[in-house]
């Protein structure tokens, strides 16, 4: 599998809604970061499905290399 495109070397802070399902972009090609827009087609990547269990801020990974996908774990600091 190819390496994902680094969308940004920082997390995306997003206000999420409890019960809503989100699809995090794993390939880095989406123009609607941090969420999937279908740009992964043909790349071997698939979006990560995540359902919010509470409303409030969430920090989604922007570098696409997190070990805790779809969330930021600070990996961007070493890229």
* Secondary structure of 9-34 as H, E, C letters: CCCEEEEECCCCEEEECCCCCCCCCC
pLDDT value of residue 32: 98
Q: What is the pLDDT of residues 13-37, one digit of tens each?
A: 999 999 999 999 999 999 999 999 9
**Residue range of the domain that includes 4:** 1-79
Q: What is the pLDDT of residues 48-79, one digit of tens each?
A: 999 999 999 999 999 999 999 999 999 999 99
Q: How confident is the model at residue 2 (pLDDT cuts 50, 70, 90)?
A: confident
Provide the token pair at 57.
């801020």
Q: Peptide bond preceding 11: is omega within 30 degrees of 0, i.e. cis?
A: no
How many domains, in total, are found in the chain? 1
Q: Is 79 helix (H, G, I), strand (E, B) or coil?
A: coil
């Amino acid at each position: 599998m190819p390496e994902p495109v680094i969308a940004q070397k920082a997390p995306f802070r997003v206000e999420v809604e409890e019960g809503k399902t989100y699809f995090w972009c794993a390939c880095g090609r989406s123009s609607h970061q941090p969420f999937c827009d279908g740009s992964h087609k043909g790349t071997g990547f698939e979006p990560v499905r995540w359902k919010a269990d509470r409303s409030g801020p969430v920090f989604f990974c922007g570098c696409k290399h997190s070990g805790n996908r779809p969330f930021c774990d600070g990996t961007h600091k070493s890229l």
